[in-house]
Amino acid sequence: MNNKLRNRVVLLSVVIGVCLPVLFYGCGSGNDGKDAGMNAKPALPVMVVNRSDATVTTLYSALLEGRVNVEIRPQVDGTLQTIFVDEGSFVKTGQSLFKIDDRAYRELYNSALASQHAAEARLVIAKLDEEKLVPLVQNKVISDIQLKTAKANTHAAQAAVEQAKAATRSAQVNLDYTLIKAPVSGYIGKIPLRLGSLVSKNQSEWLTLLSDVSQIYAYFSMSENDFMRFRQIYTGTTIQDKLRHLSPVSLIMSDGSSFSEKGTIGSVSGQFDQTTASVRLRAVFPNPDALLRSGNTGKVVMESLFHDALIVPQAATVELQDKIFVFLLTPGNKVKEQVVTVSGKSGHNYIVSAGLKQGDTIIIAGIEKLKNGMVIKPLKSEQGTASTTAVKVK
């Protein structure tokens, strides 16, 4: 028994001697790897910020209207007798649109014309009476009082003729109003009334809306900040001078396609809307094929040129509490949070107007876990510089 016990003790000692070094080695290796991982510096790509010219393309929602929109309304009372046009048809200036029953107005005109002729006849008689008295007064057969009376009667008859002519012209105007003609060339809108409808010059409902769409006006609003930046970018002492320096604008239609014609910014409203803190602008587009109509919507594409702008990738920024940050690389490869001011943005780039300067180095990827003062291993970016085109949607 003693020999067996002795053998077991020897075997146990051998096993412990072999296992303990292995256990200690494994534990020691694990701690060394962990310490090495904690002390490793993250290798992150960086880029040097440089200045270059950049174009910011801004999209503004717009409401489209024809160059002239005329509400066609009746000027006299009556019954709608004839409709010469159909909805959506194109008409030229002076073309007949509607006819109101003119029988009553024609009789009023005939009556006024007859009164005019009677007044003209009385004038002729008055002049004859005056002429007969002239030699009698010269020969002192009658006193000049009678001649003066005759002259006064002639003047009264002349005034009666003028009054009758005015009544005739007024009756003629009302008669002409029964035939409604197109004041401009354009397209006919909705016609709410039908034949036999009673119309009145005081009614609120119009007969139709006539739109001249040879040119299209696109109305859109620009924020106060954008408008102030617009005034700073373009040269000129007045707004009209600055408008002349603007590049042509484009139009994106409601289906997302681009309109074929380029437009110009024609005017700026004289005051800001206090409710929206914006100013209204009008872009003018030629519309030779009448593709666009009043009531259409779209987006005006306006380009603004920034000279010597600093451009950074949007992916290199962090937005927090209405502020935008980048991570600036400082001496010793330490990172520092830096607030920047953005003048324009797109899906990929920001144009920075404050917070950075030319030659600054920023981290452009892997910034999610960075903190102030962290040391990194900078990697030169293959990207180099950011694109020089940015887009804003309003």
Considering only residues 243 and 249, tell me which one the structure prediction assigns the higher pLDDT.
Answer: 249
Looking at residue 345, its pLDDT comes to 66
The per-residue pLDDT for 347 is 55
Least confident range from 55-59, 263-267, 295-299: namely 55-59
Q: Mean pLDDT, to the nearest integer, of 297-305?
A: 86
Which pLDDT score is estimated for 20? 44
Weakest mean pLDDT among 48-62, 158-172, 276-290: 48-62
CA distances from 341 to 38, 321, 322, 323, 357 (A): 35, 14, 11, 8, 12
Give the burial class of 371: count Cβ atoms within 10 A of its Cβ; 0-12 exposed, 13-18 middle, 19 or more buried: exposed
Q: DSSP of 219-259, one letter per residue? A: EEEEEHHHHHHHHHHS--SSHHHHHHTSPPBEEEETTSPBP
pLDDT value at residue 87? 92
Q: What pLDDT was estimated at residue 377?
A: 84
Q: Which residue has the higher pLDDT, 72 or 393?
A: 72
Strands 43-48 and 377-380: parallel
Mean pLDDT of all residues belonging to the chain: 82
Using the predicted structure, report yes or no on whether residue 26 has a pLDDT greater than 80: no
Residue 236 or residue 36, greater confidence: 236
Q: Is the pLDDT of residue 208 over 60?
A: yes
Residue with the larger pLDDT of the pair 61 and 392: 61
pLDDT at 13 over 80: no
Residue 14 has pLDDT above 60, yes or no: no
Helices (H), the chain: 2-39, 103-138, 144-177, 224-233, 239-244
Among the residue ranges 181-185, 228-232, 359-363, the one predicted with the least confidence is 228-232
Mean pLDDT value of segment 14-34: 45
Using the Cα atoms of residue 377, residue 383, residue 389 and residue 392 in order, give the sign of their dihedral.
negative
Tell me how far apart the terminal alpha carbons of the chain are, to the nearest angstrom: 97
- pLDDT tens per residue, range 67-97: 999 999 999 999 999 999 999 899 999 999 9
The pLDDT value recorded for residue 8 is 53
Please state the length of the chain. 394
Q: Is the pLDDT reported for residue 241 higher than 90?
A: no
* pLDDT given at position 138: 85
How many percent of the chain have pLDDT more than 90? 42
Whether 369 contacts 34, CB under 8 Å: no
Instruction: Judge whether residue 184 has pLDDT over 50.
Output: yes
Lowest mean pLDDT among 53-57, 142-146, 315-319: 53-57
Q: Is the pLDDT of residue 188 over 60?
A: yes
Q: 298 forms bridges with which residues in the sheet?
A: 62, 253
Query: What pLDDT digit, counting tens, does each position of 112-126 carry?
Result: 999 999 999 999 999
Q: Which residue has the higher pLDDT, 9 or 353?
A: 353
pLDDT of residue 43: 84
pLDDT of residue 329: 85
8 Å CB contact between 358 and 49:
yes
How much of the chain, in percent, has pLDDT values that exceed 70?
Answer: 86
Domains for the chain: give ranges and CATH numbers. 43-53+307-393 (2.40.420.20), 59-65+215-305 (2.40.30.170), 74-101+178-205 (2.40.50.100), 103-177 (1.10.287.470)
> Does residue 14 or residue 48 have the better pLDDT?
48
Whether 52 contacts 385, CB under 8 Å? yes
In the prediction, which pLDDT does 128 show?
93
